[in-house]
């Protein structure tokens, strides 16, 4: 079975602005376009995914923030639950069950802010927010930014995700980067189905 890493690519982060990175397109089906970014000093490569949907911005936002349903659409997400929630911040916990490697877990801090014509959700690892599970490798280096905007000229919703993750433990860099090319499209395809269900 081939190694895929979820939004380990499930949800990935190094707060780096997309314009500072050289992006190479990996897939474009007319609705979803995915990219892999230039290599960082660590050998890991960020990803970028863009999708247009005919659904309201609020529905897209509510789908992304419905943490308990992540196992339905985030590849290899075995479970997900909210730890704390406030008006603009949420902490949640995920278990990633991947083939051929030790399971990972991650605690994520998601901050929500209003932007022009939309919403930005910035996610970072918050490893000390939950007790460590000795049977799993805790992911400590993760960033992901969802930008959700309403296009004025056609009333469609544009979703963009820029993401980077170091899954920790030993996984060859080439395998991580291979997953970085295949996983974003699968994730957004699943997200689209989840939004319109």
What pLDDT, on a 0 to 100 scale, did the predictor assign at position 2?
Answer: 35
CA distance 157 to 154: 9
What pLDDT, on a 0 to 100 scale, did the predictor assign at position 142?
Answer: 93
pLDDT in tens, 44-98: 788 999 999 999 999 999 999 999 999 999 988 999 999 999 989 999 999 999 7
pLDDT in tens, 121-163: 999 999 999 999 999 999 999 999 999 999 988 989 999 999 9
pLDDT grade for 100, boundaries at 50, 70 and 90: confident
Q: Are strands 104-115 and 137-138 parallel, antiparallel or unpaired?
A: parallel
pTM of the model: 0.85
CA distance 1 to 42: 26
């Amino acid at each position: 079975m081939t190694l895929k890493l979820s939004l380990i690519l499930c949800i990935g982060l190094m707060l780096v602005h997309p314009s500072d990175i050289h992006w190479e397109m990996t897939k474009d089906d007319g609705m979803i376009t995915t990219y892999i970014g230039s290599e960082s000093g660590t050998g890991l490569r960020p990803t970028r995914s863009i999708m247009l949907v005919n659904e309201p911005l609020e529905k897209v936002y509510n789908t992304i923030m419905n943490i308990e349903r992540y196992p339905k659409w985030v590849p290899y997400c075995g479970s997900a639950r909210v730890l704390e929630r406030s008006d603009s911040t949420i902490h949640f916990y995920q278990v990633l069950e991947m083939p051929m490697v030790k399971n990972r877990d991650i605690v994520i801090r998601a901050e929500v802010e209003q932007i022009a014509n939309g919403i930005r959700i910035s996610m970072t690892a918050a490893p000390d927010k939950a007790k460590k599970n000795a049977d799993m490798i805790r992911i400590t280096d993760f960033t992901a930014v969802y930008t959700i905007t309403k296009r004025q000229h056609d009333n469609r919703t544009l979703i963009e995700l820029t993401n980077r993750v170091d899954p920790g433990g030993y996984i060859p860099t080439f395998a991580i980067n291979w997953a970085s090319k295949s996983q974003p499209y699968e994730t957004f395809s699943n997200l689209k189905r989840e939004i319109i269900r």
